């Protein structure tokens, strides 16, 4: 394990409620999507050697932790989130020796490596699942197997055990002729859900996790970990199964009911996570674990991340990144409003004000680029300003910030116009199901939704320079990248921003440094002000006698400074009081004196 190369927060300052404070209290995490980060062998896919080659870039940026999306052996049905061997590296990314080299080189630079871990489900090509097809094998009960509905021929429409639909489209049940039964999959039909009710499953997972930690990694980000516990009746039946005591919800317009209410934050989640903590992490130091948490409320986040409960360090909540989507479907989009984002993030902050911890993110491999989603990428100026505004807003909250590759450059969404440009399984399945099968939306409207929401918006290659393939792979590579490079690579790339003091990259370096230097940013109390303003998101941060004001105009128009914020700066602000601003300190001083904020103007001020 490595030692952080930065000032740690004194134990006299409360962070998550643990004593001593965890090392990650003022850390910043950088997420890498390996297949889109850096290709070194010209096959069109990023690889581990590519990540190693860019470690100096990450060290210069100042981040502390690198989170890798899955690099395990996989058929790549869902880009590696379908794992066929947990203890090997997929040849697409390299070898175990390449992984060992990455660990050594990262640790030399004071960077920790956190691996993505997918244990709600495996690939259908995993040895466990292959063995599970045999009812007499010891693995027979390692997945959710069910017989066909009585009175129906197995494998025919209507024979599925209940009416659940997959989040990736179609039924959540797939018939297996070898076993003569159906298996349950919340996601792709090549991603069967593991049966965590079986203790043998759980301990096999814990053994694997210990194997990786013994090898030298520094922790895990756990994919959809709060979906490992399913709601079942006293006889072990799922809702809606024949004979189940639990009635399922009605089917929706796409022809299925949703497993989400029954499989998210289920009845045994706390038990399973506490067991994992004991079996894997309890006797170790220097690690970090964070769980992706579908269905978890801010109040539950407080419980799960309270160190006294011995579960997880952090969770990713999703209520704030759904503010432009209807509850019925992520593809039914609604206009973004500042008040909705503010309400959700305030709820997350308030929930952990006494104990527990917050994860801070707008972007990741499953979320579109924030600058295109809620900002404005229509002009270079508005792109830069809005990228900085959302960066400042996020990083001034209490918790641990996560930067997704390219976010620090202000990379934009893909803006694909043709369906054949998309690679994402979820997006392609959704188009087929909603447009071609259920016929509940027009092709044009669905393409608009994909342009705004599709996961592929975050997955275009990292833009290192202005060359043919943006430096992701060699300009003369025989194979094109697995997904198209964004055409704006000439205007947005690391090479052009690296030494530019006004770039988004330079702005993020300053945000990271401020968190390292000022405990008030990482751990100070958070208090919302001007809660009803239409355009401005404002709050204070307080630690003992130190107090900061953060105001962010999340619009492309000049607006009045809200009342409570104006009262706090009524006596005037000098340039040394401005910690960071999207326009610069001198401009911020004038704006505040005039009682207004220019388009996308955001500022953090020492009061």
Domains in the chain (CATH in brackets) are 123-193+233-264 (3.90.400.10), 417-453 (no CATH), 524-606 (2.60.40.1180)
pLDDT score at 445: 92
Does an H or E element contain 117, and which? strand 112-117
Whether 292 and 120 have beta carbons less than 8 Å apart is answered as no
CA 167 vs CA 221, 224, 550: distances in Å: 21, 13, 38
Does an H or E element contain 316, and which? strand 314-316
Active site residues: 223, 292
pLDDT score at 8: 87
pLDDT score at 5: 58
Q: Report the chain's mean pLDDT, rounded to a whole number.
A: 96
Beta strand spans in 337-446 (E): 359-360, 400-404
Residues 368 and 531: their CA atoms lie apart, in Å, by: 26
CA 328 vs CA 113, 212, 261, 313, 322: distances in Å: 37, 39, 13, 31, 11
What confidence category does residue 293 fall into, taking pLDDT thresholds of 50, 70 and 90? very high
pLDDT score at 3: 47
Sign of the four-CA dihedral 82, 317, 373, 322: positive
pTM of the model: 0.96
What does the CA dihedral 102, 103, 104, 110 come to, rounded to 10 degrees? 110
CA 476 vs CA 40, 41, 410: distances in Å: 12, 12, 26
Residues 335 and 323: their CA atoms lie apart, in Å, by: 9
| pLDDT at residue 195 is higher than 60 | yes
CB half-sphere exposure, 331, CA atoms < 13 A: 26
Tell me the CA end-to-end span of the chain in Å, nearest whole number: 39
Whether 91 and 99 have beta carbons less than 8 Å apart is answered as no
What confidence category does residue 283 fall into, taking pLDDT thresholds of 50, 70 and 90? confident
- Helices 269-276, 298-305: axis angle to 10 degrees equals 30
């Amino acid at each position: 394990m490595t030692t952080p190369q930065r000032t740690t927060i004194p134990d006299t300052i409360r962070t998550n409620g643990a004593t001593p404070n965890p090392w990650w209290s003022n850390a910043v995490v950088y997420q890498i999507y390996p297949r889109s980060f850096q290709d070194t062998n010209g096959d069109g896919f990023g690889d581990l050697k590519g990540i190693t080659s860019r470690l100096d870039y990450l060290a210069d940026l100042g981040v502390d932790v690198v989170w890798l999306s899955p690099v395990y052996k996989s058929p790549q049905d869902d880009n590696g989130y379908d794992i066929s061997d947990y203890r090997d590296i997929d040849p697409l990314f390299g070898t175990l020796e390449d992984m060992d080299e990455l660990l050594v080189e990262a640790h030399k630079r004071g960077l920790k490596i956190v691996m993505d871990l997918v244990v709600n489900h495996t690939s259908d090509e995993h040895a466990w699942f292959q063995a599970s097809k045999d009812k007499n094998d010891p693995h027979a009960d390692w997945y959710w197997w069910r017989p066909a509905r009585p009175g129906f021929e197995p494998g025919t429409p209507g024979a599925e055990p209940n009416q659940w639909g997959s989040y990736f489209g179609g039924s959540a049940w797939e018939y297996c002729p070898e076993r003569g039964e159906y298996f349950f999959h919340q996601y792709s039909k090549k991603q069967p859900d593991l049966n965590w009710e079986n203790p043998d499953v759980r301990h096999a997972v814990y053994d694997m996790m210990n194997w990786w930690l013994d090898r030298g990694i520094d922790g895990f980000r756990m994919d959809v970990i709060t979906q490992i516990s399913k709601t079942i009746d006293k006889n072990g039946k799922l809702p809606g199964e024949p004979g189940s005591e639990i009635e399922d919800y009605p089917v929706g317009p796409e022809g299925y009911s949703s497993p989400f209410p029954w499989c998210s934050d289920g009845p045994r989640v706390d038990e399973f996570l506490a067991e994992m903590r004991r079996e894997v992490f309890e006797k170790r130091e220097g690690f970090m674990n964070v769980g992706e948490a579908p269905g978890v409320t801010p109040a539950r986040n407080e419980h799960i991340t309270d160190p006294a409960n011995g579960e997880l360090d952090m969770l990713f909540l999703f209520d704030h990144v759904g503010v432009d989507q209807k509850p019925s479907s992520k593809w039914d989009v609604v206009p973004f409003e500042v008040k909705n984002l503010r309400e959700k993030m305030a709820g997350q902050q308030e929930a952990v004000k006494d104990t527990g911890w917050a994860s801070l993110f707008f972007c990741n491999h499953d979320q579109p680029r924030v600058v295109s989603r809620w900002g404005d990428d229509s002009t270079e100026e508005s792109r830069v300003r809005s990228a900085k505004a959302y960066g400042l807003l996020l990083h001034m909250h209490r918790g641990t910030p996560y930067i997704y590759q390219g976010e620090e450059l202000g990379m934009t969404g893909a803006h694909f116009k043709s369906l054949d440009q998309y690679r994402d399984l979820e997006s392609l399945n959704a188009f087929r199901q909603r447009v071609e099968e259920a016929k509940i939306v027009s092709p044009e409207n669905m393409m608009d939704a994909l342009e705004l929401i599709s996961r592929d918006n975050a997955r275009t290659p990292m833009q290192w320079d202005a060359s043919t393939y943006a430096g992701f792979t060699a300009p003369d590579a025989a194979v094109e990248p697995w997904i198209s490079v964004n055409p704006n690579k000439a205007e947005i790339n690391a090479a052009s921003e690296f030494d530019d003091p006004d770039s988004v990259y330079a702005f993020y370096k300053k945000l990271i440094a401020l968190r390292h230097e000022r405990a008030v940013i990482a751990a100070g109390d958070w208090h919302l002000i001007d809660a009803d303003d239409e355009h401005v998101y404002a709050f204070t941060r307080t630690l003992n006698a130190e107090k900061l004001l953060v105001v962010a105009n999340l619009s492309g128009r000049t607006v009045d400074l809200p009342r409570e914020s104006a009262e706090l700066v009524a006596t005037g602000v000098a340039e040394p009081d401005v910690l960071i601003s999207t326009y610069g300190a001198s401009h911020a001083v004038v704006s505040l004196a005039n009682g207004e904020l220019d388009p996308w103007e955001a500022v953090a001020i020492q009061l």
